[in-house]
Amino acid sequence: MFVKGDSIAETAEMGCCGCFGFSFAKKPKKVLRSRGIFVNNTSREFLLDEEGEEEEGEEEEGDDEFYNGDVTDTGNEDDDQFQSPVRRSEEILKYRLQNSLICREVPVKETHKLVRSEDEDGNKMINEYVREYKIGSGSYGKVVLYRSSTDGKYYAIKAFHKSHLLKLRVAPSETAMTDVLREVLIMKTLNHPNIVNLVEVIDDPTTDHFYMVLEYVEGKWVCEGAGPPGGLGENISRKYLRDIVSGLMYLHAHNVIHGDIKPDNLLVTASGTVKIGDFSVSQVFEDDNDELRRSPGTPVFTAPECCLGLTYHGKAADTWAVGVTLYCMVLGRYPFLGDTLQDTYDKIVNNPLNLPDGMNLLLKDLIEGLLCKDPGHRMTLEAVSEHAWVIGEEGPIPLYLCRCKRNRSKEASNGSRMGLLS
């Protein structure tokens, strides 16, 4: 039984769940139909996304977890008639990479030769990287800490089995491998101080292993150790929120929808900077049309409109998740959490937002704006960045002028000068 006073630390010791659906309106309760998940009988352990149990007998190195992210039927049978933005993402990303329309100045290293060995102390190695210990799990595979024998730095490496990913169906025409390859393509284009950096991809066609070498964030996730009651407090929550909003505004400006904003995917460096990680369910758009149908995020962070209808807007759904995250950081608990998936969805859609008496009125206004159930009236990230509580004593969130925007500005400026000279 869930008690409202439960802390994030207490409630986060649960399994993971992927896609789902519900009706966005105060209508009679509806039985949800899902592929792979029987919603009405799903226990509360699937409401939150956290590391699960390891399979017995599997190889420790690169061992994948069971995948609990089966796609839920959103209620429309004409899947093939809906042109999913996911199918276009790879083409958009490849075009950006081929035409240098990216923010990275140093490209991601691509390695097609894998050597698995041991160092003199018997520690497992992949190429130059010496294994230290497992530090977590992503959506489809393990995350392990490695140390480079070349530069001595630590890296977080996501390890996958390609054969396993290819067996996992996440949509009618997509496998988990589609998600991982799209994640790589997305991260190849990004460069921002509040985004985890992808350093190298190791993909040897002669082996079943696939590795993503990421910068290691030597810190914690944003709500770790918050404890009940009261969460992190206003000052730390404000500092973290500013970083989250800065990073997410950058993503949205590049038509990237994260899709799974939550404390577990928000890492804090030793110096206190928040970096957004895990782009395994992220998607990309060519323009501002951010309509999505597949909703593969984490249930308690999901917006009401991610429902049984045709589409929802990815940016607004990301913004809702920021609101849930802020609520968690400030209060140390979730705003809407039931004993089952169905119960949780009903509460997200129908229950009013409860905030404690005596809360800072500016903070209350911000949380209410972010957790507005109507996406058309929900506060935008731009409005959040200018909100009085967010500004505080620090001033407005600084605008980040990325490399691709600078290049476009230079091209426009050069074009204007050429026009004047002609």
User: Which of these is catalytic: 64, 203, 243, 260?
Assistant: 260
Do residues 127 and 107 make contact, with C-beta atoms less than 8 angstroms apart? no
Amino acid at 178: T
Euclidean distance between CA atoms 390 and 370, whole angstroms: 13
Amino acid at 243: D
- Which two three-digit tokens encode residue 115? 């050597």
Active site residue 260: yes
Phi, psi of 382 (to 5 degrees): -60, -40
Amino acid at 302: T
For the chain, the three-class secondary structure string (H helix, E strand, C coil) is CCCCCCCHHHHCCCCCCCCCCCCCCCCCCCCCCCCCCCHHHCCHHHCCCCCCCCCCCCCCCCCCCCCCCCCCCCCCCCHHHCCCHHHHHHHHHHHHHHCCCCCCCCCCEEECCCCEEECCCCCEEECCEEEEEEEEECCCCEEEEEEECCCCCEEEEEEEEHHHHHHCEEECCEEHHHHHHHHHHHHHHCCCCCECCEEEEEECCCCCEEEEEEECCCCEECCCCCCCCCCCCHHHHHHHHHHHHHHHHHHHHCCEECCCCCHHHEEECCCCCEEECCCCCCEECCCCCCEECCCCCCHHHCCCCCCCCCCEEHHHHHHHHHHHHHHHHHHCCCCCCCCCHHHHHHHHHHCCCCCCCCCCHHHHHHHHHHCCCCCCCCCCHHHHHCCHHHHCCCCCCCCCCCHHHHHHHHHHHHHHHHHHHC
Residue 158 annotated as part of some ligand binding site = yes
Catalytic sites, residue numbers: 260
Binding residues for ATP, as ranges, are 158
